Amino acid sequence: MAEALKADVVIVGGGTAGCSTALHLRQRGLSVVLLEARLCGSQASGVNYGGVRRQGRAYPELPLATRSRAVWDRLPSLVGHDGEFVVSGHLKLARSDAEMAELETWATGARERGVGVELFGRNAIRARYPWLGEQVIGASLVADDGHANPRLVAPLFARAARKAGATLREQTRVTAASRDAGGFIVGTDKGVTVRASTLVNVAGAWGHEIAAMFGDRLPEELMTPNMCVTEPLPFVVEHNLGVVGGNVYIRQIARGNVIFGGGSGWGDAGAGRARALPPITSGAIARAVEVVPGLRGARLLRSWSGLEGAMPDGIPVIGASPSTPGLIHAFGFSGHGFQLGPGMGEILGELVLEGRSATPLQPFAPERFAAAGIAAR
Ligand SMILES: Cc1cc2nc3c(=O)[nH]c(=O)nc-3n(C[C@H](O)[C@H](O)[C@H](O)COP(=O)(O)OP(=O)(O)OC[C@H]3O[C@@H](n4cnc5c(N)ncnc54)[C@H](O)[C@@H]3O)c2cc1C
């Protein structure tokens, strides 16, 4: 049935970024319609590993991550629940001297940018973490990192945004979008049309498709991290764990299940589907057992993957469209946008209302690829 909606802002995509933006804009008094092709939080935001870390980020991303980290602490007052966010610390492990040197280099730059980092050498690691495998020779701890339950966070923001007066339409896919003198006109597969003066494109792995509707050709690619979860086990993995190079990452939740990932699964963005691949899962199990030998013999309950947009330089696109006034892009979070999601509401809210953000966004400018001669495929 045809239906025409009007709002100050139309948001395309109901992941954590979109739902937190909807809430923030409502809190600042704007009318909002959010369109989500499936269910809010059903894509990357709902199926990710759950890592909430600043450790290991590219330096230009640290101001964003630091800002978002503060929002994570406020989840109970903001959305009525903590999203099972646990401040466990993130421990990144070195398995060679070269890897330890990499951790030391990152720590120097991160400390200059206000991130507290503690380094451990071989003896300290053995004494402090006897449950780690022999091949671990050093580590770096960011104590205020942690992890959360991705199944909860985007739906919590969606619920809070609805309560604050945003109109959220799920199972409603944007099929066309254009701009005329009156603003944006967005068409959907459900006959709903939205008119708005601002369009925020937070469509995740499909962000480049929405951008292309306005002639912005951005080189977003697909990534599909391979994940699995064990049966509940005695509690041993006290931190969210990563390794230099990123080929395995491990966290244990309060119920005892150990969630870990590493390598890439299979995905088809057109079909909206992803799944884990058994040989990749086997490789991740072997690496996880090397890092935490106590995991040997644990039974897996489930494996999965998800669809994530990645940019060639590994950091997202966040900023105004080069071609279309009032169009704002924020996608291509390249495997680390769950931590950034709660903060994206504030940042995109500033872009919508003030045309600039208090957090430096220049490194994320959509124009950077054209300027560097990198074309969309
Ligand atoms: C398996 C996996 C593990 C990860 N692990 C971590 C981690 O540990 N820590 C971390 O920080 N990050 C992690 N990430 C990355 C993180 O999940 C993403 O960067 C983040 O969730 C992106 O949020 P988003 O809201 O931008 O996108 P999404 O959650 O993908 O939301 C975009 C939404 O847009 C909708 N959409 C697309 N096209 C249309 C359309 N035409 N019309 C309407 N709606 C549309 C989609 O249905 C989708 O729901 C991981 C990702 C995956 C896949």
Distance between terminal CA atoms of the chain?
36
Q: What is the pLDDT of residues 328-355, one digit of tens each?
A: 999 999 999 999 999 999 999 999 999 9
CATH number 1.10.260.40 is the correct assignment for the domain at 3-50+151-219+311-371? no
The domain locations on the chain are 3-50+151-219+311-371, 86-139+222-310
371 C-alpha to center of ligand 1: Å? 26
Please give the pLDDT value at position 47: 98
Please give the pLDDT value at position 322: 96
302 C-alpha to center of ligand 1: Å? 20
Please give the pLDDT value at position 128: 96
Class of 86-139+222-310 in CATH = alpha beta
334 lines ligand 1 (CB under 6 A): no
Please give the pLDDT value at position 375: 84
User: Rounded distance, CA 185 to CA 191, Å?
Assistant: 13
Please give the pLDDT value at position 374: 87
Q: Which residues of the chain have pLDDT under 70?
A: none
Q: Which atom of ligand 1 is nearest to the CA of 224?
A: 53
DSSP 333: B
350 C-alpha to center of ligand 1: Å? 21
CATH fold match for the domains 3-50+151-219+311-371 and 86-139+222-310? no
Closest Cα to residue 119, out of 138, 144, 132? 138
260 lines ligand 1 (CB under 6 A): no
Question: Residue 339's Cα: distance from chain center in Å?
Answer: 6
